[in-house]
Amino acid sequence: MSLTKTPASSRNTKTSRQARSPRAPWRWIVLAVVGIGAMLTAAPFLLLVLNAFKSSSDYSQNGPLAWPTTFSMQAFEGYLARVDFPLALWNSIVISVVVAFVGVTLGLLAAYGLGIGRIRGSTAVVAVFLLATMLPHEALIYPLFYGAQSLGLLNSIWSIIIVFVVLQGAFATYLLSSVMSTVPKSLLEAAALDGANRRQVLWQVVAPVLRPTMSVLVVFFFIWTWNEFYIPLVLLADPASQTVPIALSTLRGQHSIDITVVNAGSLLSLIPTIIFFVLFQRTLSRGVTAGAIK
Amino acid sequence: MTTETTARSTRSAAQRRSGTARRTGRAGYWWYLAPLGVGFLAVVALPFVMNVYFSLTSWRGGIAPATFIGLDNYARLLGDEEFWRSLYNSVYMIVAIVVVPTVLGVLIAAALFDYIGKQFGGRTAAFLRATYYLPQIVPIAVAGFIWAWVLDSQSGLFTLVLQQLGIQDPPDWLGDPAIALYSVMLVLIWLQIGYPVVIFMAALQRVDPELYEAAELDGAGWFRRFRAITIPQIRPEVFVVVLTATVASLKVFAPILILTGGGPEGSTVVPSYYAYRNFFELSRVGYGATIATVMSLVIFLAATVLLILQRRSDRQENR
C-alpha cells in the first residue's frame, strides 16, 4: 500500500534519478499495478501467519482479518499432536539431500560417458532421458507401488530416494550433457597429453568446469524432491516414513479439524521452504536463468 | 550388447592406430552410464512397460487374478463420459497454467525490467520478482491447504470477509459445480505466475539495450518497443515456458486432490486424478493404467507438436 505514494514524492525521485520517460504519473501507475499484483501473490502467506497464532474461538469470533486478541500456540499444539512433525522434517531432509547429491553425481557420470566418451547412440539416450522427465508419474505409479511392495520398500524412505535419484539423475544427464560441450577441447587434450586417465579427466578437468551448473542442479533437486507429492503420497502411507508435505496432507478430508490447526500445520510446513528460499535465492534465480530449468 | 562392445573395441583399436584416439577405447565409457542406466531401466522403463501391459488387462490389483482383455479398456475409455470431461477440463488447466500466466508474465516481466528496474532501481524489481516467484517453491501440498482454507465455504477467508462486508450468502467457491473449476484455475494462476516472470526477466537481460535506445530515438513509445523488440527477442524463452507449462498442465494432480477431490459432481476432474481414483479407490488397476498410458501419449504428442511449431517458426525467422 505504501508503494502508491503521493505525486509530490514522485517529482523528487524523478529529478534526482533522471527519469527516461517524461510522463511521470505513468511510472507510479505501473509500479502500483505490479505492486498490487505482488501483494495479492503474497497475501495468502501473510494471512496464514496472522491466523496461525489465533485460538479457534478468536478466529470464529473476530474473523480472519483481525489481529489476534492473544498470541495462542493452541493451533500448533493441535497440529503437533496429530503429526510427528520432527520426524517428517528429518525424513524430508534425508530424502532431499541424498537425492540432490546422488542424482547430480549419477547425472555427471552419465553425461561424461555420453558427452565426452560419445558412446554410440548418445543422442538417443539423452532424448529418452528427456522424454522421461515429461512422463506423467501416473504411468509409473502402480508398477512402482507393486515393486516397492514386493521388495519390502513400501513405507520406506529408500523407495522414494531410489525413484527420485533416477528421475532427477535423468534430468541432470540431459542438462549436463548439453553443457558438456562447453568444456574446452584444449583442456581435454592437454590432460590427455599429460597422461591423465578417464577418471582423472572427469574429476580434475570436467567436474570443475561444470561445477556452477551442478550446484544449481543440487539446489533445484533438493527443492523439487522436498515438494514432491504424488509418488510419496502413494509409497509412504505409514506416518513414520512421511515427508513434510505428505504429513500435512493427512489432514485432508478430516472435517472435524479446526481451521486454525490446518493453518498452523501449513505454516510449520512452509517454514523450511522459506528458510531455504532466503538462503539460496540467488542460486535459484541464477538457475532459472541459466538453463531455463524445469 | 556383446556385439556392440566388440564393434566398439575394433573401432577404437583402429582409432588408436590412427593416433587420434585417447589411450583407451570408447567402450569403457559405458561404465559411466551404467549406474543411472540400470536405475532407469528399473524405475522408469520397466514400470512404464508394465503399466502398458496392465492397461491390456482387467485387474483389481494385489493378489487378484489379472485377465488379458486386449484393447477392451481403450474401447471403454472412448465411450467414458467422465474421461472426456477430464480431458475437457485439461483445456481449462492449459488456460490457467499456460495462457494466462504467460501473457501476464510477459507484461509483468517487461514492466519490472524495462520500467520499474530503471525508474526505481534494481532492488525494487528484484524484490517484486521474488514475491511473484514464492508460490513456485512452496510445496504444492502446503499451497493446496492454504487455498483450501481461503476458499472454504464454512470458515474460509473469502466467505468470512464477504460476510463481514454484509454479503449474506457468499458463493461456495469449491462446492458449487458452476464455479469450482474457476476457483481451481485461480489457484493455479497464482501458483504458476512466478515461473514466466523470472524466465522472461532473465531473457530481457540478454536483449541489447541499444535496440531500445535506437527505437526510443526514433520516437517509438513503450508499447511499440514492447511489440517490436521485447516480444521477438524473448521468443525462445516463450517457447520454453509454453512447452514446460503445457506438459505441467496436463499433469495437474495435487491441487485437485486437495481442493476438490474432482468434485463437486465431477466438475473438476482431470485425467491424472481420474487415473488415481481408478488405481487406488475403485481398484480398477487395468483401467487406471489405460488412462495413464493415454495421458503419456497426449503429453508426448503435445510436446512434439510444440517442438515442431518452434522449429518451423525458427526457420521462418532465419529466412
Judged by CB atoms within 8 Å, which residues 182-241 of A form the interface with B? 192, 195, 197-198, 202, 223, 226-227, 229-230, 234
Answer yes or no: is pLDDT of B177 > 70: yes
pLDDT confidence of residue A251: 85
Q: How far is B292 from chain A (nearest CA, A)?
A: 5
Q: Do B254 and A112 touch (CB under 8 A)?
A: no
- pLDDT of the residue at B319: 62
Mean pLDDT for chain A overall = 84
At B26, the pLDDT band (50, 70, 90 cuts) reads low
pLDDT tens digits, one per residue of A184-229: 888 888 888 888 888 888 898 889 888 888 988 898 899 999 999 9
Give pLDDT, residue A9.
39
CB contact under 8 A, B23 and A192: yes
pLDDT of residue A23: 59
* Averaged pLDDT of chain B: 86
Note the pLDDT of residue A289: 58
The separation between CA B31 and the C-alpha centre of its own chain, rounded to angstroms, equals: 33
Give the three cell numbers for residue A109: 557420470
Distance from CA of B189 to the nearest CA of A (A): 10
Give the burial string for A9-39 (b: 16+ CB within 10 Å, else e).
ebeebeeeeebeeeeeeebbebbeebbebbe
Point out the residue among B50, B157, B253 whose CB comes nearest to the CB of A143: B50
B5 has a pLDDT exceeding 70: no
Which residues make Cβ contacts (< 8 Å) with residue A235, sequence separation at least 6? A144, A145, A148, A153, A154, A155, A159, A160, A163
pLDDT at B19 over 90: no
CATH code of B226's domain = 1.10.3720.10
Q: Is B247 at the interface with chain A, CB within 8 A?
A: yes
Structural domain span for residue A283: 78-291
Q: Which domain holds residue B209?
A: 76-318
- Residue A241: inside a domain: yes
Residues of chain B found within 8 Å of residue A23, distances taken between Cβ atoms: none
Is B36 contained in some domain?
Answer: no
Give the chain B residue whose CA is nearest to the CA of A24: B119
**What are the residue ranges of helices labelled H in chain A?**
7-17, 24-52, 56-62, 74-82, 85-115, 122-134, 138-150, 157-179, 185-193, 198-200, 207-227, 230-235, 244-249, 259-291
A5 within some domain: no
Query: Lowest mean pLDDT: which of B22-31, B117-126, B165-174, B307-316?
Result: B22-31
What is the model's pLDDT at position B3? 40
**Are the CB atoms for A91 and A243 separated by under 8 Å?**
yes
Task: Please write down the long-range contacts of B71-75, taking CB distance under 8 Å and 24 or more positions apart.
Answer: B73/B286, B73/B287, B73/B289, B73/B290, B74/B290, B74/B294
Burial of A100 (0-12, 13-18, 19+ CB in 10 A): buried
What pLDDT, in 10s, does the model give residues B40-92?
999 999 999 999 999 999 998 878 888 899 899 999 999 999 999 999 999 99
Question: B276 at the A interface (CB within 8 A)?
Answer: yes
What digits encode the pLDDT tens for the residues A14-25?
333 444 445 567
Nearest CB to A65; choose among B39, B161, B195: B161
Q: Give the pLDDT of residue A189.
A: 87
Q: What is the average per-residue pLDDT within B292-313?
A: 92
**Chain B contact set for A252 (CB, 8 A):** 257-258
Please check whether residue A66 lies inside any domain of the structure.
no
Most confident of A87-96, A265-274, B309-318: A87-96
Q: Between A118 and A145, where is the model more confident?
A: A145
Domain contains A267: yes
Stronger pLDDT, A54 or A19, i.e. the higher one: A54
Q: For testing the chain A interface, which of B8, B40, B295 should be mutated: the one with the most A CBs within 10 Å?
A: B40
Contacts of B132 in chain A (CB under 8 A): 37-38, 41
Residue B210 pLDDT level (bands cut at 50, 70, 90): confident
* pLDDT for residue B15: 44
Domain harbouring A175, CATH code: 1.10.3720.10
Percent of chain B scoring above 70 in pLDDT: 91
Quote the percentage of chain A above a pLDDT of 70: 87
Length of chain B: 319
The mean per-residue pLDDT over the stretch B169-184 comes to 90
Q: Which of B35, B44, B141 sits opposite A245 (nearest CB)?
A: B141
Asked if the structure places residue A154 within a domain, the reply is yes
Q: Determine, yes or no, domain membership for B138.
A: yes
- Is the pLDDT at A291 greater than 70? The verdict is no
**For residue range A146-167, what is the model confidence (pLDDT) as tens digits?**
999 999 999 999 999 999 999 9
Q: Give the total number of structural domains in chain B.
A: 1
Residue with cell 573395441: B9
CB A244 within 8 A of CB B113: no
The answer to whether residue B164 is domain-embedded is yes
In this predicted structure, the answer to whether residue A244 has a pLDDT above a threshold of 90 is yes
From the candidates B131, B142, B252, which should be mutated to test the interface with A, based on the most A CB atoms within 10 A? B142
Interface contact A113-B46, CB threshold 8 A? no
Predicted confidence band of residue B18 (pLDDT cuts 50, 70, 90): very low
Q: Which pLDDT value is given to residue A87? A: 94
pLDDT score of A293: 44
Residue from B181, B188, B179, B180 nearest B97 by CA: B188
pLDDT of residue A3: 37
Whether A42 has its CB under 8 Å from any CB of chain B: the answer is yes
Give the model confidence (pLDDT) of A76-103 as tens digits: 988 998 889 999 999 999 999 999 999 9
Q: Is residue A256 part of a domain?
A: yes
Contacts of B23 in chain A (CB under 8 A): 192, 195, 197
Using the Cβ of B287 and the Cβ atoms of chain A, whether some distance falls under 8 Å is answered with no
Assess whether pLDDT exceeds 50 at residue B22: no
The pLDDT of residue B9 = 44
Mark yes or no for CB contact A113/B137 under 8 Å: no
Q: Which residue has the cell 465411450?
A: B79
Residue A72, pLDDT score: 84
- Interchain CB contact of B103 with A (< 8 Å): no
Q: How much is the pLDDT for A212?
A: 84
pLDDT in tens, A117-142: 777 788 899 999 988 989 999 999 99
Does B189 score more than 60 pLDDT?
Answer: yes
pLDDT at B276 > cutoff 80: yes
Question: Looking at residue A178, what is its pLDDT?
Answer: 83
| A276-280, B5-9, B110-114, B213-217: range with lowest mean pLDDT | B5-9
Predicted pLDDT of residue B8: 43
Q: Quick check: A173 and B36 CB within 8 A?
A: yes
Instruction: Select the more confidently predicted residue: A28 or B285.
Output: B285
**Shortest Cα distance, chain B CAs vs residue A33, angstroms:** 9
Of all residues in chain B, the one with the smallest CA distance to A52 is: B146
Does residue B147 or residue A178 have the better pLDDT?
B147
| Yes or no, beta carbons of A166 and B39 under 8 Å apart | yes
Q: How many domains does chain A have?
A: 1
pLDDT at B48: 96
Query: Could A110 and B61 be called an inter-chain contact, meaning their C-beta atoms sit closer than 8 Å?
Result: no
Predicted pLDDT of residue B265: 85
Model confidence at B23, in pLDDT bands (50, 70, 90)? very low
Q: Work out the minimum CA distance from A287 to partner chain B, whole angstroms.
A: 10
Mean local confidence (pLDDT), A230-251 = 91
pLDDT of residue B14 exceeding 90 = no
Quick check: A197 and B24 CB within 8 A?
Answer: yes
List CB contacts (< 8 A) between A223 and chain B.
137
pLDDT at B147: 92
Domain membership flag for residue B8? no
Interchain pair A170, B299: CB under 8 A: no
Residues B149-164: pLDDT tens digits? 899 888 788 888 888 8
- Measured over the CA atoms of residue B267, residue B268, residue B270 and residue B272, the dihedral's sign is negative
- Three-state DSSP at A152 gives coil
pLDDT in the model for residue A255: 65
| Angle formed by the axes of helices B30-40 and A157-179, nearest 10° | 140
Q: What is the percent of chain A with per-residue pLDDT over 90, rounded to a whole number?
A: 38
Give the per-residue pLDDT at A143. 94
B198 touches chain A (CB under 8 A): yes
Which candidate from B164, B202, B288 shows the least CB-CB separation from A63?
A: B164
Q: What pLDDT, on the 0 to 100 scale, is given for residue A12?
A: 40
